[in-house]
Amino acid sequence: MNIKLLIVEDDKSLIQLYTDSLVAYPDINVEFSLNKEDALAMIKSNNYDAAIIDLKLDNPEIPTEGSDIAKEINENLRFPIVIYSANIEELSEDFKSKESVFLKIYSRYDKEITTIFDEIKALKATGIIDILNKKGHIESYLNEIFWNYLTHTMPFWIEESKTKDTKNALLRYTLSHLQEYLEINNKGEYDNYYSLEVYIKGPIKKHQKTIFTGDIVKNEEADEYYLVITPTCDLVIDSSRPTPKAKFITLVKIVNIEDLISDIPEGNKKNNKRESIKKNNEYAYHFLPKYLSFFDGGVVCFQDIKSILLTDILNQSKYKIELCISTSFKKDIVSRFSSYYSRQGQPIII
């Protein structure tokens, strides 16, 4: 694993300290920049894995000059940034609010350089930098899609764009090709999914003043979670229909798995029932895994349904959208819910 690191620092003694510390990190290749102008040029022409940036550079009148470099990366590029400075108190509250795992802000007095190197290595090891930076896997896939696949269908899109705005449709079409790449691993086998991939924390569609099939909502008063199962076609809004067709929203309660099996005595039967539910072998339930510290998971109980007014669920003092189920998993839940209520059974034959 090789890491290409940009360090923006104009203090010669600190540059030497970085250089000395790097002896223990032969897999980190560093390029130094002494000022803002050079740093901005370097990030545009090079493909870095991370950047460590001092705030106070060669302009004494601007104590947070380095934050301009960080903003450029944050807005236009995709690699981690570490602000490492003796005067982080000069940063605005707005800038500090952006701090995350990808944008760290450390006082030079509180954090060892080697600790920062270790954190950058840990992020690199996840693969996220190689996936999303400007020369990462997704860029490589997009190049293939552009040259090998979209070229065959562009006459259609050119014609459609004469009378319609096709940008969103073309983006969806491109992403559907990308999804084909991502379903298969490098051995040519269908890849396994992690539990985090079940959910999207957001929601991303928050600019829409409605709710969507697959949203997980929390009843704030009762501290209960529900899954929106109303058909998507009843929730669609567009220029001809500014409000959803549905007046009522169908919710399925998400319950604790232990509550479902509480009446079964301890032993193999209880354990077998628990495992059967977790493996989605039970018609009446669908298991949802835990999502970090935001959601403890549970079981969608197809028998525990209620219907509430759309206006009530959009009232954030009553209900709050916590997560939404990602498309691949949402379709399965809706399908299983439909199958459960479409069962007919037959009379017993004697």
CA atoms within 13 A on the CB side of 57: 22
DSSP 89: G
- The side-by-side arrangement of strands in the sheet containing 248-255 is 199-201, 319-325, 215-219, 224-228, 248-255, 298-309, 285-288
Say yes or no: do domains 3-132 and 197-341 share a fold: no
Mean pLDDT within 83-90: 91
Q: pLDDT grade, residue 316 (50/70/90)? A: confident
Of 298 and 316, the one with more pLDDT: 298
* Structure confidence at residue 193 (pLDDT): 86
CATH class of 197-341: mainly beta
* Helix 36-45 with 66-76: angle, nearest 10 deg: 20
3-state SS string over 133-144?
CCCCHHHHHHHH
Rg (CA), the chain: 26
52 or 136: which leads in pLDDT? 52
3-state secondary structure of 3: strand
On whether the CB atoms of residues 297 and 289 are closer than 8 A, the answer is yes
How many Å apart are CA 86 and CA 109, to the nearest integer? 7
List pLDDT tens digits, range 22-73. Answer: 999 999 999 999 999 999 999 988 889 999 999 998 777 788 889 999 999 9
Q: Which residue has the higher pLDDT, 190 or 224?
A: 224
Residue-level pLDDT at 209: 67
Split at pLDDT 50, 70, 90, the class of 207 is low
Position 138 scores a pLDDT of 78
pLDDT band, residue 221 (cuts 50/70/90): confident
Map residue 8 onto helix, strand or coil: strand
Percent of the chain residues topping a pLDDT of 90: 50
Q: Is 308 helix (H, G, I), strand (E, B) or coil?
A: strand
- Please report how the helices 12-21 and 113-126 are oriented relative to each other, as an axis angle in degrees rounded to 10: 60
Task: Sheet with 81-85: list strands edge to edge.
Answer: 28-33, 3-8, 50-53, 81-85, 103-107
Q: SS3 letters for 190-256?
A: ECCCCHHHHEEECCHHHHCCCCCCCEEEEECCCCEEEEECCCHHHCCCECCECCCCCCEEEEEEEEC
3 state SS of 174: helix
Question: What per-residue confidence (pLDDT) applies to 185?
Answer: 77
The answer on pLDDT for 203 being more than 80 is: no
Domain extents in the chain:
3-132, 141-192, 197-341
- For the chain, the maximum distance between any two Cα atoms, rounded to a whole number of angstroms, is 95
| φ, ψ for residue 301, nearest 5 deg | -100, 105
Distance CA 27, CA 1 (A): 6
Per-range mean pLDDT, top range of 175-179, 238-242, 300-304: 300-304
Q: Which of 74, 47, 3, 29 is nearest to 139 (CA)?
A: 47
Supply the pLDDT for residue 208: 57
Look-up: residue for tokens 């992403």? 175
Helix (H, G, I), strand (E, B) or coil at 284: coil
Q: Which pLDDT band holds residue 290 (cuts at 50, 70, 90)?
A: very high
Global pTM reads 0.69
Domain 3-132 is classified in which CATH homologous superfamily?
Response regulator (3.40.50.2300)
Contact partners, residue 119, CB within 8 Å, separation at least 6: 82, 104
**Contact between 237 and 208 (Cβ < 8 Å):** yes
Distance CA 318, CA 311 (A): 10
Most confident of the following: 95-109, 201-215, 231-245: 95-109
Q: Quick one: CA torsion of 50, 54, 57, 62, rounded to 10 degrees?
A: 110
